[in-house]
Amino acid sequence: MSKLTLFFAALLSFVAAFSQQDSVLFVGERHFKNVIQLTNGGDNAEAYWSYDSKRITFQRSYPKEGINCDQIFMGLVPTDNATPFHYTLISGGIGRTTCSYFTKDGQHIIYASTKGGGNDCPPPVDRAKYGNKYIWPLYNTYDIYMADTTGKIVKQLTTAKGYDAEATLSYDGKKMIYCSDKEGDLDLYVMDLATGKEKKVTTDLGYDGGAWFSPDGKKIVWRASRPKTATEIAEYKSLLKEGMVAPTNMEVFVANVDGSNAKQITHLGQANWAPNFTPDGKHIIFCSNHEYKRGFPFNMYLIDLEGNNLEKISRDKGFDAFPMFSPDGKRIMFSSNRNNGGSRDTNLFVADWVE
C-alpha cells in the first residue's frame, strides 16, 4: 500500500471518528427523526414544553455572554432546520435560577430562584473540599415563584427557609410537585396551586427530587438516593447539614400521586436520574451512566413501570439527559454534548419521536 493510500485511509478514519463525535444523530438512535439543534454554545438544560407543544422554557449559563449562572429563557420551538430558534430572558438575570415550567394557561411560568438572597450568583461549590466529588449545592435561598411570560413575578409559591426547587406541574395544571429540605431531609411535596395546601409524599431517608406526574395524574416518578450503611448515612447527613448533596448513586422510583405504593423500578447502580413518563404513561424515560464504571458517558433509556424491558435510546459518547416529550407525544426535547466541536458545551436538541 502506497504512502498516499495510507494517508487517505488515515484521513478517512479520522473523519469517521470525528463524525461519530460531532453529529446530531448517531447510529442506533432509531426513535429520533428530524433532529434539530436549538442552541449553540454554553450550558443549556432542563428544557420543558408548554402545554400546547409549541414553546419551551429552559435554563442557560454562558459566561462568554455574561450569563455567569443559570437563568431562565423562553422560546418558540422551530419545526425545521431552516427556522432559527429565538429565545428571550425571563428571569431578569437576578440570582441563580432553575427548573422552569409553563402553567396550563400558557401565560405564566414557575421557576426556582435565589433572588431572595440577593441579586448576585451564589458561590459555586468548592469541590476540592470534598475530595473533588460531584456535589450539588442546595442553596437555602431557593424559593419557587410564578411569573408571567414577560418575566414579571406575580406570586411566590414557597416561603420556607431552605431549599425549595425542582418543581413541575400536573397535566391538568392544578398541582405542583417539588423538592424541599424544610423538614430536615430532601423530600417531595405536592401542592394544590389554587389553595396552597400541600402534602409530603416521601418519608424515607435520602434525596428525593426531580419528580414528574403521569399524564393521567395518578402517579409520580422521581429520582432518589437511599443511603443504607452507617458510613453512607453519616456522609449524606453531613453534606445535607452543609447544604450539599452528592447525587452519584440514585435510582428511579414510581408511586401513586399521594406517595403510596412506592416502588423502585431501576436497580442499575450509579446515577439514574431525570426520569419522566412517556405520553402513554406506560414507560419511563430516564438518564443513566450505569454502563460505564468511570461514571461517564450519560445516555437516555426507556423502561416499563415494572422495571423491565430496558432499552437504550441515545448513543452520544458524552452527555444525553433531561428528556421531555411534548404533551402531544410527537416530539422529544433533550440536552446533549453532541455536535459541540469537542468543547464542553451542552446544547438543546429536539427530534420527532418514532415508536
Residues 278-314 pLDDT 10s: 999 999 999 999 999 888 999 999 999 999 999 999 9
Peptide bond into 297 cis (omega under 30): yes
Cα–Cα distances (Å) from 190 to 87, 116, 179, 220, 340, in that order, read 30, 22, 9, 10, 38
Best CA proximity match to 105, nearest among 204, 176, 172: 172
Distance from the Cα of residue 74 to its chain's centroid? 16
> What residue spans define the domains of the chain?
3-353
- The pLDDT tens digits of the residues spanning 124-148 come to 999 888 888 889 999 999 999 999 9
pLDDT at 1 over 90: no
- Could you give the angle at the alpha carbon of 291 between the alpha carbons of 290 and 292, nearest 5°? 95
CATH of 3-353, one of 3.40.50.300, 2.120.10.30, 1.20.910.10, 3.40.800.20: 2.120.10.30
Q: What is the mean pLDDT of residues 214-236?
A: 97
